[in-house]
Structure formats: C-alpha cells, structure tokens
Structure 1
C-alpha cells in the first residue's frame, strides 16, 4: 500500500541502460549531420526554385498536414569537425561506462518497497488502474474487472463478437481505398505510405473504473488502446482535418481558461438558474450514419471540394465501421459510436454535437430561455432565465429526440460545478472557485520521484498558477494554502513551496486569463534521452566538446548549445498498469530471446506473417468455430511432421503437411 500511495507517476531510480544511451547518441549525431547537410543545401540552392502547378497537386499531401514518414535518408559523414566531435563524445562516454561499474546511487525505494513492487507486478489476482477521474489508484479484483468488461461487451447494440482475427481482411480493404485515392489524385504517395501501417498491432480494450459513481462496484469507462494499430495514423490524419470544423461552433469551449473568459460576458440576474447537462456515453452512442452525415454537412457548409470530402468520409467510414479490438483471445467489432482513445474521437464527437445543436437545440421553443449555452465535448453549461418547470420540459424534449442520446441534468439557484470550476452566483455576477471532487486524491508527484530537478521544482509553480487562474479573490487564499499543504505532504521543501506561494499571491486572475502567443522558435538541437543516473554526466560531455562544431563550415547552425530533452524513466504506471488483460503470467522473462510454447513465425519467409500466433495461453483459435487448440511446444514452418491449415475469411481453404510427414 505504501508503494501505491506514491502514485502511478512515481519513477523508481532506474538502472543505467547503456544500449538505449548508445541509440540516443547515434540519433543525436545524425541530427548534427543533417543540420550541417541541409544548412549547405539551403545556402547553395537557387533563389528561383521550381514550382509545382496547382492543378497537379493532390487534394491532401503529407507535407500540408505537418505529418511525416520515418526518414531513411543517409547523410554524408564528410564534415571533419562533426566527426571529431562524435569521436570525442564516444570516447568520454566509454570512459564514463568503465568507471561507472562500481558507482552506487541512492535508490528512492527501499528493499521492502522494491520487493512489494515486484510482487504487485506479478500478481494477476488483482488489476490496478487509475481512476477515471480524481487521480486515485484503484485496485480491483481481476474477476470483477473481467466481469465488468464482459458486461459491456455483451451489449450487442454496441459490440459484435467476431469469429476470427480480421486484420488481414481489413488491411486489404484499406490498401484498396488508398490505391483508389492515390490513382484519382486525392492523396499523394507520401500520405498513402503514412496511412498504411504494414505490421499493425491489434487494438486492445481496457476500462477505467468510475469510482465517483460507485466505490465498491464502479462501472468502467471503455478505452481502446490502438497505438500502432492500422487505424492509428488514419485517426491522426482525420483529427488534423476535422479539428478545424469541430471548433467553429459558437458554443465551443476549448479548456478551463476559455470557459472562464466566456463566463465573464454572461449576464447574471437574481432569478437565473445555473444548470449542467451531460451526455451519457456520448462516444459509444453516435450512430455511424448520423455521425457521417454530420461531418458531411459540416464540410459542405465550409465549401470543401468534393474530392476532399470524399477522401475524409471514406477514411472516416472505414475507421468507424471496421473498428475492432481483442480481449482474452477473442475479437470484437464496435458496431456503434467511436472508440474512446482514438485521436479523432473528440473532434468527431464535437462535430456531431454541433449539428445536433443546430437542428434541435437552437430551434427549440425553450431556446430563448437559455441566456448562455457552452459545451466542452459532452459537458454543457447553461445559464437559464426561465422557470425550473420549463428547464425540466426542455430536458425531456432533448431526451426524446434520439433514444441513443440521453442527457443528465443538474441545476441550482446558487452554485454549480462545470469542468474543474465551481460557479457561484453573486449579486454582482459570477464568482469562480476550484472544484475538487469527493473522490479526488493527492496525486501530485512525490518529490523523491526520479525526475529531472527542474521538472520537480516547476510543479508547485504550475499548480499554484492554475489555482490562481480559476479562483476569485474571495477564495484564493484558502485554495493556495490547501495546494501548498498537498505539496508539503508529498515531501517538497518548505522554502521551495513558500517561494512559489508568495509569487502566486501577487498575481491577479485578470492577467492570467490573457491569452499568450508563442512566437519564438527554438533552433537549438535537442538531445532526447531517457533520464538516468548518468544524464548529467552525459550532458556535460556533450556541452564540453561543443565548441569544436564552431570550426565547421556550417558554424552558424551550431552557434547555440544543444538542449537536453529528457524522457521519463519507467514509472509505477508502466510496471503495474497494462492495457492488455492477462489472466496468467509466464514465469520466464519476456524478451525477444525467450523461448515459449506456441505457434510463431520463423522470421525468415513471407508466409509466416499470416500465421495465427500462439498467445500467453499457448493455444491458437480456430477462426470458424472459435475452438481453442493447445500447442505443447514452440513451432514454426520449419518443423517436421506438422499439418498446416490455411483459412481465408474464417473458411478452411487448404490443408497440407510438411514434406517429411
């Protein structure tokens, strides 16, 4: 319990990974060579560059979207100053590695805590997840966790059980869609390559417990983890396109600061009623037909070309109708709504709600009673000038429009909560205070966590700024004191917290709500690496030899020293929280050299990429009947006395045997 109380963001002191450091240095050296190479190309290029005809340009290009494919360009290693710098850095890092073997560092977890952490990571009888809201750590019985997921998956209006892994069929369909768009000139070749992932991961589903609704039997918020899946890049591309249309609605709220700015222009009267509406399970409630129609209407009203509209709607329909995931060895398809966790889901939901408001909210007979209507995706803030009875009738009218779209209503004559703000009605207008849910916990990062000191020391200031931005003068002193106590409870030095507190007190809410624009572009070359016990020494080595680069012909590209950009090391979340649900755990370590039982590709032929691989249960599933067959050894296509069964679309099309059978 003491380990979990540190929070899932806590990072234990890591062991130095010299292999990862070597990769990070190689990437950094490549950036230096590229910087020098393109600095030469830019200076020697002609002013009159060839232009591309507008008529020859595709409707969507990878360059226009700001996305990019992984570069395979090999730059020449012909700048002597850079190569000398690389050699000296490698030499000093090798010396550091040789002298680092006997160095001991203080571990921020003692022996008992490290043993407890190891036991928690191996215990499959419990499932550890962050709470849906509030920052608490929830320890659930794995049986109840599995039952809650199956309870939701058994809803046949939303999910459909598939008989086989649909990845190959969906990949073929996607390739056909992209080839057609490429042939018609709607996308360019680079964008086509970006949208198609050759070896995609299978999406998995998990839930976040909603303990703010029930502490002992919390319902779960379903999240589909689709990182590196076939939908990942398509969803990123669609989010880039749809974001412009999702934010154009007059009631759109970007974040808390945007809401506070808009709240100031809303009139407040004595009989004003404050209300909030929340759409129940919005993401899974949007029918595909209505969602696609909403996007089509939004793009048509923006005078988007037919070609662009066709590309977006075709890809969006593919993502919505083919969205699938696995759970416990079974595959499911989402028949309704969009997967929560997809990049384009918020923009898609915003567009759907915007069209719904245009059709039914703004045209309602009760709309004149709404002094203000502000919406953040599925959360709506309403200032109502009518009676309570009219508000209830308006709520009933909204729920009667579409059975799958249901709203929950809360209202008050004095105060109400919206986002992380408590809005209080006063005689002079609206006052605001920081809203803290009853289930919220002190989830601030512990001071002993293995993070860069600059990151740790900046947290009190950023959180106190948030408190000052949200809270009016009447409540600010109390909230600042409460926030400072939270940091002190997490081990932060008193002098650090006191200094930040005094700085925050002199600021006003007005100046913090003024939008700030970032115009300065940082040209410093970043060294990106995982933060470890030797990061400071490596940083010193990189900076020590930097003056050598001033001797290069491209010295102007290296006039500023590199910036150290650290990735966090492994946290408790990485060790304890998994998106893939596993009933059992292998006793052997899981590395690419581990040998386990099951059916696996040989990695030496193209046919094996279609193999149904064995999972942690050492079984394979027959696609047609979903029956499980146990494999008692590790096999591949090179084994003798093996019968091969080829399936297509869940149908057995061929049975063959190895030549020696």
Structure 2
C-alpha cells in the first residue's frame, strides 16, 4: 500500500481525532476529539437554545408529525396527497449534531449543524422551503449570491461632493438566535402577502412550528432538543432566517425616526450599505439596529474606501463601486490535483471556471491580470501544467466583466429615497441601454 494511502487509513482509524472540513475556506481540519467533544458540550449546555432529554426523540416526534399532518388533511386544510410529508418509522434516520470548525474565528468555535436527513420533519421542511423561497426573493434587500450582488453594485453611480460611507452589518449566530414566536410572526406576515394562496397561512404556520419544535438529535451518545432558533441543516433554515430578517428590517425602518441609509442589501445574515448622511447620523442608525431586538446581535464596520462582502472587495473609485476578489485569510485554495483520474476535460475546466470567476469579480483589467497570476500559482501547487493555466487565463481575458454577469436586479430597497424599479435612488443608477427612465445625475 502506498505511503499516502496508508497514512489516510491510519488517520481514518484513529479514535482520538475528528476530521472535518473547515466552516469556510476549503481546508481540511484535524480536531482533537476531546476538544471537539468539549466544544459540543459547551454549546449544548446553553439552556437558552438546547434542552437535554433522557431518550431519543425521533420516534415520538414522528408520531406528533403524523398526528398533526393527518388532522390537517382530515380537516381539509391539506390535500390527501400531503401524506407524503409523513415518514414511516422504518424510513426514519437518526438526526445527529455535529460541528464545522471556524478556523477564521478566535478560539476556533464550531458551527452547529444538525443532520436532518430522513428526520421526522424533513419533508415538511422541504415543502415549506418551496413556499418561502418566492417570498424571500421578493424581499427588497435580497441578495441571491455573488453574481447578483455584482449586478446590483454595477448599477450604482454615486453622487459627487458628498461624503460616501460604506458599511457592513452582520448578524451573530442568526439561526439559533431567532425566537420561535418572532420567527413565526415574520412567516405569517409574509405568507399573508400572497395573492393566490393554495394552502392557508395558518396551516403553513402550523407546519413551520412542527419543524421548529420537533427538533431532537444525538451528540456523543446523549440526546437533546433545540428549543430556540432554527437548526442549521434543515431545508427551510435559510429561507426562514431570511424572512425573519426581512420582517426585522421592515420594523426597523418603520420605527426609526431619523434618516436611514440610501442603499442597503443583505445576503442572509451579511448586510452591506452605502450612505451619504453625516457619520454621526449613520452611527446613530447602526446603534439603533444593534439594540432593536434583544435576541439578535450585530457586528458592524464603517469604511469609506473599501469593504469586503462575501468574496468581493468593494471600493469607491470616482463615482462608481469597483470590485475585486476577496479571499479570507484561512482560504486554503484547495483544488482537484492534476494527477487525479478525472477526465482531462473536467480538469481543464476547473482553472477556466476560476478565471471566469475572476473576470466577473475584477473590473479593472490590470487587477484581473494580477489576480490571474496569483490564481495560476494556486493551481501550479496542485500540479497543473502552465499551458493549461495560460489557456484558461487567455480565454477568461476574452470576456468582458459585464458579459459574464447574467443576474438582473429584481429587488428594491426600503432604505432612504427609493426608486421603484431598481432599488436604489434613481440618481445612483447607471443608465442601461434602452432605459431612458434612468438618468445619471446627482441626488
């Protein structure tokens, strides 16, 4: 057996370590098992979020799901076909709590995740996610992904002769921090905005309650219930969290008496904004946001020239937002090695896809070429031939940044003076061809 395979075999069979992917950055982390168990015990001892139980709650929870769904079907609130939402006991899996190491955070805490595969509420959660997703996409501050964010940023034309402040607002531990009552209130609020509901709001709120409250799992031979927040691992988790944040933002803007930022968007728990208001006014608004909800904690950053949002480095240049690539310090740049037995077409496509990603992110041609050289070094360390990498870079260079952006802006912002079509003040929008309604002028 080759030495590397033997080493992997030996690591796999050690019982004193836990091997997990890093929470962010793509690294593989070897975690001492005693430290992993201690971190799990630390988190699960928080009685605000978790409660220990004496036995496995999977079968009892499945009985509650069966009774609740059957009652809704019998009452005509759900169609008979909704029986698929119920698992037979023989089909059930075993929900397990595990953690991914946050090596980018001090003391390397674990991100708590509950593996919800074949758990009693898995089918219900997937169904609710399909209902919630259109509502999430209609939120005024919604950002789908990096491409969507770049499309939004590319439309902005900033005013002249005014101070410009970029700022970030990030929620700490959003998923576990959402009180059930407030989350259900947010869900009900947005469900009531549907124009042609197939299933009533009250029924969907009841199903959401099942997912939130029937969440039992095992960790290191002990059993627990999650009693607050939504489990990271259930299908509806991200959309539920987004609806809660959308409702919170709506409340904030309606209750705040002072000026609000003119531009604000959010990707789940990471928000980015731009404002021309005096710095003291912006700080007052951010302080209001931070103290608005007793269970939701924010971190903030105000920076005039540059901020890092998702994998984008955003900077102000002249009157425009310019983008480049941002790597977290813990990014390991781990790519498939060229000695892999994957087809050559697959291996050649990987560096090309990364060069296209750089082309989307890097608006400046000089910056793009510099980042290509940096990316090439990452792939060289994985054994890729220079001719493959140079070809990928040349092909990526042939595309204009806007050509590889396919996501169009479909949302509007609640913040400040709003433009009904695009979501930022009309004076901040770069006119698109054929759109005479959008002017390049100052505020």
TM-score range, shorter chain: 0.7 to 0.9
How far apart, in 2, do the equivalents of 1:237 and 1:195 lie? Answer: 12
Q: Is the 8 A contact 1:372 1:382 kept in 2?
A: yes
2:312 is aligned, of 421, 424, 435, to: 421
Aligned to 1:170: 61
Aligned to 1:295: 187
Corresponding position: 1:229 with 2:119: yes
How far apart, in 2, do the equivalents of 1:283 and 1:515 lie? Answer: 27
Aligned to 1:475: 367
Q: Which has the larger radius of gyration?
A: 1
Aligned to 2:134: 244
What SS does structure 2 have at the residue aligned with 1:139? strand
Tell me the CA shift for residue 187 of structure 1.
3.0
Return closer, same or farther for 1:463/1:195 CA change in 2, 3 Å cut-off. farther
1:273 is aligned, of 142, 165, 168, to: 165
Aligned to 1:352: 244
Aligned to 1:460: 351
How far apart, in 1, do the equivalents of 2:123 and 2:114 lie? Answer: 15
How far apart, in 2, do the equivalents of 1:358 and 1:132 lie? Answer: 30
Tell me the CA shift for residue 399 of structure 1.
2.0
Tell me the CA shift for residue 307 of structure 1.
4.5
Q: Is the 8 A contact 2:84 2:123 kept in 1?
A: no
What SS does structure 1 have at the residue aligned with 2:225? strand
Q: Is the 8 A contact 1:157 1:336 kept in 2?
A: yes
Return closer, same or farther for 1:452/1:195 CA change in 2, 3 Å cut-off. farther
1:210 is aligned, of 98, 102, 126, to: 102
What SS does structure 1 have at the residue aligned with 2:340? coil
Aligned to 1:629: none
Return closer, same or farther for 1:185/1:452 CA change in 2, 3 Å cut-off. farther
Q: Which runs of 4+ in 1 moved over 6 A?
A: none
Question: Tell me, which stretches of 5 or more residues in structure 1 are unaligned?
Answer: 1-109, 517-661
Deviations along 1:481-539, one digit per CA (max 9) or x if unpaired, are 111221121111222222111111111101111349xxxxxxxxxxxxxxxxxxxxxxx
Aligned to 2:282: 391
After superposition, residues 392-407 of structure 1 pair within 5 angstroms as 392-407=283-298
Deviations along 1:63-85, one digit per CA (max 9) or x if unpaired, are xxxxxxxxxxxxxxxxxxxxxxx
Q: TM-score, structure 2 length as denominator?
A: 0.87
How far apart, in 2, do the equivalents of 1:390 and 1:506 lie? Answer: 45
Aligned to 1:485: 377
Tell me the CA shift for residue 471 of structure 1.
0.8
How far apart, in 2, do the equivalents of 1:278 and 1:294 lie? Answer: 19
What SS does structure 2 have at the residue aligned with 1:234? helix
What SS does structure 1 have at the residue aligned with 2:200? helix
Aligned to 1:513: 405
Tell me the CA shift for residue 306 of structure 1.
8.6
Tell me the CA shift for residue 311 of structure 1.
2.5
Q: Is the 8 A contact 1:204 1:224 kept in 2?
A: yes
Q: Is the 8 A contact 2:191 2:201 kept in 1?
A: yes
Corresponding position: 1:185 with 2:76: yes
How far apart, in 1, do the equivalents of 2:81 and 2:88 lie? Answer: 13
Tell me the CA shift for residue 405 of structure 1.
0.5
After superposition, residues 476-555 of structure 1 pair within 5 angstroms as 476-515=368-407
Aligned to 2:438: none
Question: Tell me, which stretches of 5 or more residues in structure 2 are unaligned?
Answer: 409-443
How far apart, in 1, do the equivalents of 2:230 and 2:69 lie? Answer: 21
Tell me the CA shift for residue 476 of structure 1.
0.6
Corresponding position: 1:122 with 2:13: yes
How far apart, in 2, do the equivalents of 1:507 and 1:305 lie? Answer: 43
Tell me the CA shift for residue 386 of structure 1.
1.8
Tell me the CA shift for residue 321 of structure 1.
0.9
Q: Is the 8 A contact 1:395 1:407 kept in 2?
A: no
Tell me the CA shift for residue 193 of structure 1.
2.4
What SS does structure 2 have at the residue aligned with 1:319? helix
Aligned to 1:408: 299
Q: Is the 8 A contact 2:95 2:117 kept in 1?
A: yes
1:343 is aligned, of 218, 232, 235, to: 235
Return closer, same or farther for 1:227/1:421 CA change in 2, 3 Å cut-off. same
What SS does structure 2 have at the residue aligned with 1:311? helix
1:257 is aligned, of 138, 144, 147, to: 147
What SS does structure 1 have at the residue aligned with 2:245? helix
Q: Is the 8 A contact 1:266 1:371 kept in 2?
A: no
Tell me the CA shift for residue 268 of structure 1.
2.3
What SS does structure 2 have at the residue aligned with 1:206? strand
Q: How many residues align?
A: 404
Tell me the CA shift for residue 194 of structure 1.
4.2
Q: Is the 8 A contact 2:57 2:217 kept in 1?
A: no
Tell me the CA shift for residue 247 of structure 1.
1.3
Q: TM-score, structure 1 length as denominator?
A: 0.59
Tell me the CA shift for residue 457 of structure 1.
2.2
How far apart, in 2, do the equivalents of 1:238 and 1:124 lie? Answer: 39
Return closer, same or farther for 1:367/1:303 CA change in 2, 3 Å cut-off. farther
Return closer, same or farther for 1:313/1:452 CA change in 2, 3 Å cut-off. farther
2:225 is aligned, of 326, 333, 336, to: 333
Return closer, same or farther for 1:301/1:272 CA change in 2, 3 Å cut-off. same
CA RMSD of aligned residues (A): 1.7
Corresponding position: 1:319 with 2:208: no
